[in-house]
Amino acid sequence: MKNIIILITVSILTVSNITTAQVRIVNSVSNSVIASSSAFIDASSNSTVNASTNIGKGLLYPIVDLTTFASFSGTPTGIGTSYPTRFDGMVVYNNGTGNTLVGASTTIVAVTPGFYYYKNKSATLTGGVWTPLLDGSNVIKEINSTTEVVLPTKINGAQLYAISGTFTASGSSTAVTVTKPSGMTGYYSLATFKENKAFRSDIYSFDINATTGNVITGNGIYSEVYPAGTYSYVLQYFK
């Protein structure tokens, strides 16, 4: 009789857990009702929680410090049944400030607290780059330091860097003074701002004097004179 009571109790608890569970996983034996669902995980199926004001409203990610994260775990990788994309698309919440380690990626990236994903289209675990969950315009807005920033971007395989600063325009010349970043071998773009608003974004219509560091803010038919004043800039370049 005692065994029967225990069995009945376990059965009731099992049914209760199944009927009130909020998370369902596709192709799971215990959740076979969504075996053919397009959603891998469904966390929206509890009507009681959905109707609440502050219960079960978000997803908490594990926290990782990408400045100390040295290597990926899990083997084998790169096969259909085991990490086929070599962690490509893995999303993390980073709480570290500094540079990522070579052990996690062959490209060192400056990171700050926030969400990042591992962008890896290579055939190795360390061939990717930690990329912020931001669009290009937001990446520019996050660059607010005169310290060089390694961008999560490569152009034809060449790493792109960025740095910000200010310059003062005389109002009578197309030349403005922008300090040439150490080791720069070529420029990619120059965005200028005044009073926290974008003033101009040039890709091809500027050049830098390698000796003086002066920027010519226009070449040929694109030449222009900035109105007198102080401007902020973000320079993207190669080295």
What is the pLDDT at residue 99? 86
**pLDDT-based confidence at residue 11 (cuts at 50, 70, 90):** very low
Task: Give whole-number Cα distances, 191 to 39, 156, 163, 187, 188, in Å.
Answer: 41, 21, 11, 12, 10
What is the pLDDT at residue 218? 60
Residues 101-117 pLDDT 10s: 877 767 778 788 889 99
Statement to judge: residues 169 and 190 lie in one domain? yes
Kindly state whether residue 79 falls inside one of the protein's structural domains: yes
Task: Give whole-number Cα distances, 17 to 13, 22, 37, 129, in Å.
Answer: 6, 9, 21, 41
Give Cβ neighbours of residue 5 (< 8 Å, ≥ 6 apart). Answer: none
Per the model's pLDDT, the better-predicted residue between 233 and 25 turns out to be 233
Statement to judge: residues 159 and 238 lie in one domain? yes
Share of the chain above pLDDT 90, in %: 14
pLDDT over threshold 50, residue 8: no
Kindly state whether residue 165 falls inside one of the protein's structural domains: yes
Kindly state whether residue 101 falls inside one of the protein's structural domains: yes
Distance of alpha carbon 163 from alpha carbon 172, whole angstroms: 26
What is the pLDDT at residue 146? 72
CB 114 within 8 A of CB 133: yes
pLDDT over threshold 50, residue 127: yes
Statement to judge: residues 78 and 48 lie in one domain? no
Kindly state whether residue 86 falls inside one of the protein's structural domains: yes
Statement to judge: residues 42 and 68 lie in one domain? no
Kindly state whether residue 30 falls inside one of the protein's structural domains: yes
Of 101, 133, 165, the one marking the end of a domain is: 133
pLDDT over threshold 70, residue 138: no
Distance of alpha carbon 230 from alpha carbon 221, whole angstroms: 24
* Helices marked H in the chain: 2-20, 47-50, 136-142
The tokens describing 166, both together, are 């200010």
- Rounded average pLDDT over 85-98: 92
The tokens describing 57, both together, are 């409203």
Distance of alpha carbon 139 from alpha carbon 152, whole angstroms: 9
CB 111 within 8 A of CB 130: yes
pLDDT over threshold 80, residue 38: yes
Statement to judge: residues 167 and 239 lie in one domain? yes
Bridge partners of residue 155, in order along the sequence? 158
CB 101 within 8 A of CB 67: yes
Of 58, 83, 101, the one marking the end of a domain is: 58
Kindly state whether residue 138 falls inside one of the protein's structural domains: no
Of 28, 43, 58, the one marking the end of a domain is: 58
Per the model's pLDDT, the better-predicted residue between 208 and 38 turns out to be 38
Kindly state whether residue 89 falls inside one of the protein's structural domains: yes
CB 95 within 8 A of CB 122: no
Statement to judge: residues 101 and 174 lie in one domain? no
Distance of alpha carbon 204 from alpha carbon 137, whole angstroms: 18
Statement to judge: residues 105 and 162 lie in one domain? no
Q: If DSSP codes are grouped into helix, strand and coil, which group holds residue 213?
A: coil
Task: Give whole-number Cα distances, 121 to 77, 87, 102, 237, in Å.
Answer: 14, 10, 17, 23
Per the model's pLDDT, the better-predicted residue between 90 and 155 turns out to be 90
What is the pLDDT at residue 7? 44
Give Cβ neighbours of residue 154 (< 8 Å, ≥ 6 apart). Answer: 107, 160
- Rounded average pLDDT over 75-79: 90
Statement to judge: residues 123 and 150 lie in one domain? no
**pLDDT-based confidence at residue 91 (cuts at 50, 70, 90):** very high
Statement to judge: residues 165 and 237 lie in one domain? yes
Statement to judge: residues 28 and 120 lie in one domain? no
pLDDT over threshold 60, residue 9: no
Give Cβ neighbours of residue 54 (< 8 Å, ≥ 6 apart). Answer: none
- Rounded average pLDDT over 15-27: 54
- Rounded average pLDDT over 59-88: 91
pLDDT over threshold 60, residue 148: yes
Kindly state whether residue 50 falls inside one of the protein's structural domains: yes
Statement to judge: residues 156 and 203 lie in one domain? yes
Averaged pLDDT of the chain: 76
Domain extent at residue 225: 143-239
Statement to judge: residues 38 and 123 lie in one domain? no
Q: Are strands 91-94 and 63-64 parallel, antiparallel or unpaired?
A: parallel
Domain count of the chain?
3
Q: Give the torsion through C-alpha atoms of 65, 70, 72, 74, to 10 deg.
A: -110
What is the pLDDT at residue 222? 54
